[in-house]
Structure 1
Amino acid sequence: MTSIAPPLPDSPDTGADAPQSAADAVFHGIVQGLAQQRFVPGQRLVEVDLAAQFGVSRNSVREALQRLAAQGLVDLFRNKGAAIRTLSPQETLEVLDVAERMTGLLARSAARGIAHGAPTAPIQAALAQLHEADRSQDADAFASARRGMYRALLAASGSRELRRLLPSIHMPIVYAQHRPATLQQVRMRDYQAMCDAVLAGDAAAADAAGMQHVRNVREAIARRLGAVGLAAD
C-alpha cells in the first residue's frame, strides 16, 4: 500500500490518534487528512495556512513538515515551500513490494504473540469497529479503526523494530493517490482473514494473509490504472 503506510501496510499507520505536541497535531493531521482526502498528492502546503488551520505556530508547522519529509510523505523545495509527495508507478510498485513483506511479518509476529499469551481482546475490538465503520460507510471511522487494528497487531507482536519501521512505509500516499472503488471491500475481507489467522495463533497463515492483502491492493490499483506492468513482480 501505503497503507506512502504498511505503512504500513495499509500503512500501517501506527501513530496515536491523540497528538502529544503542536507539531504532532500537524503531523498526524496531515497523515489522517490524506486518508480522508482533505490533502491530496501534489498539493502545496503553505506554512501560514497550516498554522491557522491547526492553531499552532509556524515553527511547529516547520517541525511537522521536516518530520513528514523525513518519512517521505512530503517534498520540501528550497524557497518554494512544501508539497504532498506524488509517486510514480515505479515508486508505487516499490512501496507495495516493501509493504507486502512487512505486513506479512507483522501478522506473523502478532500471531506468535497471541500463541504465547498476548491478549486477543484489542484485536477483536478493532475488528468489530472496522465492521461497524464498513457497514455505516463512515470513511473517517474506518480509517481510525484501521489504525486501531494495526496498533493492536503491533502490541500483540511486542516487536520494537516493527513499531519503528512500519510508519516509514508510504502507504498513505499510495491510498491517497490511487482510490479504486473496490478497495474498501478488498481491505475489509483481507483484514478479517488476517485477524482470524492471528487470533488463531497460526503464524504461517497470518503471514500468508498479510502478504496476500497487499497483493490484492496491488491488483486493485493495477486494474484502475490499466497498468499491467504494475502488477508484475
Structure 2
Amino acid sequence: MPRSLPSAMAASDPADPVNAGRSAADQVFHGILAALEARSLVPGQRLVEADLATQFAVGRNSVREGLQRLVAEGLAEQPPHRSATIRRLSEQETLDVLDVAERMTGLLARSAARGARDPARAPALPAALAALARAHEANDDAAFSDARRQFYRALLRMSANRELARLFPSIQMPIVHAQYRIPGLAALRLADYGRIADAVLRGDAEAADAAGMAHVGRVRAALLARPETP
C-alpha cells in the first residue's frame, strides 16, 4: 500500500514567491518532489490517483496533470493501463543526473552571486543556513529537508532568473537522494552550502560557480564510495 505524504507536503507554500500562484497540478508535482526528498516516497513506488487526490485535496484531473508532468520530466513512469510509479535510476542514469546537477548548481550559484547586489534579496540565504545548522544539530531530518529547500529558494530569488526557476526543480536529484543512502550527506551539505553562501554573498560569481559544482562533485564521490547494500 502506498505511504501517505506528510500533510505539510500536500499543499503549496503561499509564502514562497518563487512558487507563488501554483495550480492544483503544480501542488501535486512539487509535493511529490518534496516527499521524495523526505523519503516518504521511494523509487519504484506506485502513485495512486485516488490517494493523491485525497492527500492533496485536489481533483483527479489535477492529479493526472501533475503525474503527466512527472512522467514528461523523467521523474515517474507510467506503463499503459497501469498506475504511475516513481522512476528508479540505474547507476549510469544517476551519474548522468549528477552531471547535469553539477553544471546547473554552479550556474545557479553564479547567477545568485550577481543578484547579491540587491540587498533586499540577500537576508533569506543566511536565514536558511541558520535553519540548516539548527536542524543538523537537532538531528531533525524533516527540518533539515525543509531548510534545504529554503536554501535553494533563496538562491533562486537572488538569481531572479526565470529559466533557472523553471528548470532547476526538474533535475532528478530528489530521486537520487531517495534511492541512495549516502553516509554523512547532511554534514557534507551543511559545509558546502556555507561555502556557496559565502561566495554568493560576497558577489564572487566565479567562486560561487566553483563552490556549487564542487558540492555536487562531492555528492557524486560520496555516492560512489558508499557501502553496497546487502
- With normalisation by structure 1, the TM-score equals 0.84
Contact 2:24 2:62 in 1 (8 A): yes
Which structure is richer in relative contact order (CA contacts within 8 A, separation 6 or more)? Answer: 1
1:201 and 2:203 equivalent?
A: yes
Deviation at 1:105, TM superposition (A): 1.0
Change (3 A) 1:57 1:159: closer
Corresponding residue for residue 172 of structure 1: 174
Q: Give 5+ residue unaligned stretches, structure 1.
A: 1-13, 227-233
Shift of the 90–44 alpha-carbon distance from structure 1 to 2, 3 Å rule, reads same
Q: 1:16 to 1:202 in 2, by over 3 A?
A: closer
Secondary structure class of the residue paired with 2:116 = helix
Letter in 2 for 1:125: A
Correspondence for 1:65: 67
SS in 2 for 1:87: coil
3-state SS of paired residue (2:36): helix
Gaps of 5+ in 2: 1-15
Q: Report the Cα distance in structure 2 between the residues aligned to 1:54 and 1:159, rounded to whole angstroms.
A: 29
Aligned to 1:224, which of 219, 223, 226? 226
Note the aligned Cα RMSD (angstroms). 2.1
Task: Find the counterpart in structure 1 of residue 113 from structure 2.
Answer: 111
Query: What TM-score, normalized to structure 2?
Result: 0.85
How many residues are treated as equivalent by the alignment? 213
Give the Cα separation in 1 of the matches to 2:119 and 2:53. 45
In 1: Cα distance, 2:120 partner to 2:158 partner: 6
SS of aligned partner of 1:62: helix
Q: Are the structure 2 counterparts of residues 38 and 224 from structure 1 closer, same or farther at C-alpha, using a change threshold of 3 Å?
A: same
Matched residue, 2:94: 92
Q: 5 Å matches for 1:1-233?
A: 20-115=22-117, 119-224=121-226
Identify if the C-alpha distance between structure 1 residues 131 and 142 changes in structure 2 by more than 3 Å, giving closer, same or farther. Answer: same
- Aligned-partner residue type, residue 179 of structure 2: Q
